[in-house]
Structure 1
Amino acid sequence: MAETKKFYQLTIPERLERLKSDSRLEESDMKAFSGETGLTNDIADHMIENAIGVFSLPIGIAQNFRINGKALQIPMVIEEPSVVAAASNGARLVALSGGFEADSDEPRMIGQLQLVHIPDLEQAKTNVLARKEQILKMVAEVDPVLVSLGGGPVDLQVRLFPQTPAGPMMILHLILDVRDAMGANAINTALEKISPYITEITGGAVRLRILSNLADLRLARARCRIHPNCLTMKDFSGEEVLDRIVEAAAFAEVDPYRAVTHNKGIMNGIDAVVIATGNDWRAVEAGAHAWASRDGVIRPLSHWTKDSEGCLCGSIELPLAAGIVGGATRVHPGARAALKLMNVSSSKELAQIMASVGLAQNLAALRALSTEGIQKGHMILHARQVAMAAGATGEKIEQLAAELVQSGTIRIDRAKEILKNL
């Protein structure tokens, strides 16, 4: 019997066919992934202003993920070489030891309402808190469907800023459980609804009414534990690789210059899933980096240690405000197919997947960086882009890329020189 090819060894049509056979995806989903019936000009024109067309990015499938006992193939949209391969490799290492465990908080988001020109800050605070239940009832009436699904208003908090560059301010925090949505529209609508009443009871003037992207009430976490035998490489024992990963992670713990790059690598994986599912990657990025800097100095989002039994233990925690309903998640055909491929049942589950991908990405990067170096694998993939930039097409792309790697000089001028002789 012929050996089954690995996913990366297949052609694009073969990969799509395997995806279809391994999942509940239909032919229409395959066409959305391939671009045949993806985002159209008509849809784009209704999504943003002044649309002139669509801009495509590659979508790949990360393999080998097992999260909370569930095997997953994870769609990732990204232009950078080696990210999908790294995520798949990191997930493979974790799967050898049982996979990821992940959890996430309830999908609670914060809406901020700014008030200025308040005659008496303390009295205004007292007035608001005395009417908290009434205000929350007003919010609940804005979206009864959300309430029926188990969501809706959770709390109302008051923050006073007696001194700011623009004078005294009072900021209300409306905490809303947004269920399976990202939540921006629900929160902004609720803030608009209560603004006139807040003005009346405080004597102030309402200014900003907007969601906060520091979603620190909506954290997602992932963990893994890897036996050193699973980390063995050609020139390194598993124990040596483990120690090197811990040392590399410690570098990020103490140095903000390294921590920024460490976290950027994590976000390579997370952002790619956020984009694939039609979510707001700018919001996720902003929240993640703010969370990493919450004590005044940027810290790594992930942590790696060696436990008493000699195993590598990794963990990650960060805000992840991503939804599976509303916005582009329902409008973009590719985003719909991506969610369907993962069979995601809630926004909490999607956040857990994203956190796991970030941890897998980080593991693969630290393993490569601390042993053979990041360039060995990355530059092989980068060589293909250089080959295409030099003008190579068809089979010559792989030929030229191979020669560039062999020469050890992966530059556009060298690529053009070699291409003349192919």
Structure 2
Amino acid sequence: MTKKFWQLSPAERRVLLVDQGILTQAQADFWSTQTTLPETVLLGLSENNIGQMSLPVGVVPNVQIAGKAVTIPLATEEPSVVAAISHGFKMMSQGRTIQVVKNIHGVTGQIGLQHVSASDLTILQDHQADLQRIGLAAHPTLTSHGGAIRQIQIKRVGQSDAAIIVTVDSGNAMGANIMNDILEAMARTVTQLTNAEVLFAVLTNDGRDSLTQLTVTVAFDQLTTKTWSGEQVAQRIQALADWAQTDPRRAVTHNKGIMNGVEAIVLATGNDTRAVNAAAHAYAAVSGQYCGLSHWHVETDGLHGEMTLPLPVGTVGGATKVLPSAQQALALLHQPSAVQLQAIAASVGLAANLAALHALVTDGIQRGHMRLQYDSLAVRVGATAAEIAPLAAALAAADKPSETLAQQLLSQLRHKGEN
């Protein structure tokens, strides 16, 4: 009987991916070796470091995103995340029904000014072209990498303050450092032109200038279980998704399920998980109430999903070029542009969301989740690679699995092996 991908050992998966042309042998060798980052890299990434830690990297192979097949790398310590995303993409016909409706990439920053007179505002309005020239001079490589300063806005804030809002197309960079260089150069000029006082000059992690919008259609037969028809499951998913639009408590968990997937690919590719999380949860509250980021509704041809997500990520600069594992992860994705990575990450989030909703309205979240937790429990009590699967199966069959029981079952397993 042929093993499924998730049933293979890591070594067997690497061999298969090499045979399929997804990995080169050099890439497979990289993932097979636990590499230690050199001290120079550690010092460049973090202060006061005393060492480093590792996370597993799993993959979901052969997913179609915008007509292109990719193998998606996911860095996570949560056992059920990769399995859930794989299941979500399977229900989406391996991503073939995903449509990218909107995909823009950029970054916005603010210069906050105090004690701004009416004449100061007029001066700033009149000197927008100068501010743009000075901003570009602060980062001269921006235009050579396909970027530009898109817009400069000057807005009154309250009675005596004002903000200069700058929007930049940052090319394939996430753009935080580019934006801060531009803003600080502009801020110095503002103090020369006006009597206003600069309070701050920094990017905003709002993320609405890097929005990706997806739609997907899931056929009813992909949702069917032993207990429920596909149409019934679809109706229940719609009801649960609607609940997340009106109940913030449900919405938080709904969105956490999305971010389980998004954060795993963001981390794998060396991007800023804090920035992406901040932007996503802020966007979830853009209406004034915290709501679910995805919408699901039933139509005659299946279950339709839609999600718009801010994804401030990049594929050049920062840790993407410092971490060898991030470089390898981007290679798995065929060296995507920033907007391509946004589309892939959003698709991962939608797959994770669909899998979570499907589990909740059918068997419950714990069944699949605990199957993988038993693997972790087996490792915790000292099971070898060959012992994990049989011990996890024995734990799944037990009435009350526990660490004590796991130790007992492991002893029994080893005793049988000796006889």
Q: 1: CA distance between counterparts of 2:186 and 2:95?
A: 51
* Superposition CA RMSD, Å: 1.9
Partners of 2:377 and 2:406 within 8 A in 1: yes
- Partners of 1:287 and 1:234 in 2: CA distance: 39
The answer to which of 328-337 and 142-151 deviates more is 142-151
2:121 alignment partner, SS class: helix
Between stretches 56-65 and 375-384, larger displacement belongs to 56-65
Q: Would you say 1:284 and 2:284 are equivalent positions? A: no
The equivalent residue for 2:372 is 381
Of all paired residues, the percent bearing the same amino acid is 39
2:297 is the counterpart of 1:305 = yes
2: distance between equivalents of 1:263 and 1:207? 34
Q: Does the 8 Å contact 1:152/1:178 carry over to 2? A: yes
| CA distances 1:87-127 after superposition (whole Å, capped 9, x unpaired) | 11111111168331124433221011122243x1x332221
Query: Superposition pairs for residues 145-160 of structure 1, below 5 Å?
Result: 145-160=141-156
Distance 1:42 1:144, change over 3 A: closer
CA contact (8 A) 1:65 1:88 kept: no
Q: Which residue of 2 aligns with 1:246?
A: 238
Instruction: Report the equivalent of 1:329.
Output: 320
Distance 2:44 2:316 in 1: 18
Whether the 8 Å CA contact 1:187–1:211 is kept in 2: the answer is yes
User: Is 1:395 matched with 2:381?
Assistant: no
1:352-378 Cα offsets, whole Å, 9 max, x none, are 000011001111111111001111111
Q: 1:259 to 1:192 in 2, by over 3 A?
A: same
Q: Secondary structure at the match of 2:321?
A: helix
Say if 1:387 and 1:218 are closer, same or farther in 2 by CA, change over 3 A: same
Alignment match, 1:233: 225
- For residue 79 of structure 2, give the secondary structure of its aligned residue in structure 1: coil
Letter in 1 for 2:146: G
State which drifts further: 285-294 or 185-194: 185-194
Q: Contact 1:41–1:54 (CA<8 Å) still a contact in 2? A: no
Shift of 1:244: 1.3
1:13 equivalent in structure 2 = 11
C-alpha separation in 1, matches of 2:36 and 2:2: 30
Q: 8 Å contact 1:104–1:348 — kept in the other structure?
A: no
The within-5 A match list for 1:25-174 is 25-37=23-35, 39-95=37-93, 98-118=96-116, 120=117, 122-162=118-158, 168-174=160-166
**What's the CA shift for 1:63?**
3.2
Q: SS of the residue aligned with 2:92?
A: helix
- The 8 Å contact of residues 97 and 227 in structure 1, kept in 2 or not, is answered as no
Q: Distance in 1 between matches of 2:401 and 2:326?
A: 35
Q: Does 2:358 match 1:362?
A: no
Offset from partner CA, 1:138-195 (integer Å, 9 cap, x none): 11222332213331211111232226xxxx4322111111010000010011112112
CA contact (8 A) 2:22 2:71 kept: no
Paired amino acid for 1:33: W
Q: Provide the residue aligned with 1:318 in structure 2.
A: 309
Deviations 1:14-65 (A, max 9, x none): 2122223334643443343334346344422222112222210010002352
Give the Cα–Cα distance (whole angstroms) in 1 for the partners of residues 40 and 145 of structure 2.
32
Count of residue pairs the alignment pairs up: 413
Rounded Cα–Cα distance in structure 2 between residues aligned with 1:128 and 1:21 = 61
Q: 1:224 aligns with which of 194, 216, 233?
A: 216
Tell me, yes or no, if structure 1 residue 190 matches structure 2 residue 182: yes
| Contact 1:63 1:91 (C-alpha < 8 Å) held by counterparts | no
Deviation (angstroms), 1:206: 1.6
- Deviations, residues 239-291 of structure 1 (Å, cap 9, x unaligned): 11111111111111111100000000000000000000000000000000000
Contact 1:180-1:323 within 8 A present in 2 as well: yes
Change (3 A) 1:421 1:77: same
Give the whole-Å Cα distance in 1 for the aligned partners of 2:220 and 2:407: 44
Structure 2 residues without counterparts, runs of 5 or longer: 414-419
Instruction: Using the TM superposition, give the Cα deviation of residue 296 of structure 1 relative to its aligned residue in structure 2, in angstroms.
Output: 1.7
CA distance change for structure 1 residues 113 and 233 in 2, over 3 Å: closer, same or farther? Answer: same
**Partner SS for 2:330:** helix
CA distance in 2, matches of 1:319, 1:27: 35
Structure 1 Cα separation of the partners of residues 235 and 357 of structure 2: 11
1:187-244 alpha-carbon deviations (Å, 9 max, x no partner)? 0111121122111223122232211110112101121112212221222211111111
8 Å CA contact 1:38–1:334 kept in 2: the answer is: no
- Could you tell me whether the CA contact under 8 Å between 2:63 and 2:95 is conserved in 1? no
Shift of 1:323: 0.3
For residue 405 of structure 1, what is the aligned residue in structure 2?
396
Over 3 Å counting, the alpha-carbon distance change for 1:37 and 1:413 in structure 2 is closer
What code does the residue aligned with 2:150 have? V
Q: Structure 1: which 5+ residue stretches go unaligned?
A: none
Q: Distance in 1 between matches of 2:173 and 2:87?
A: 31
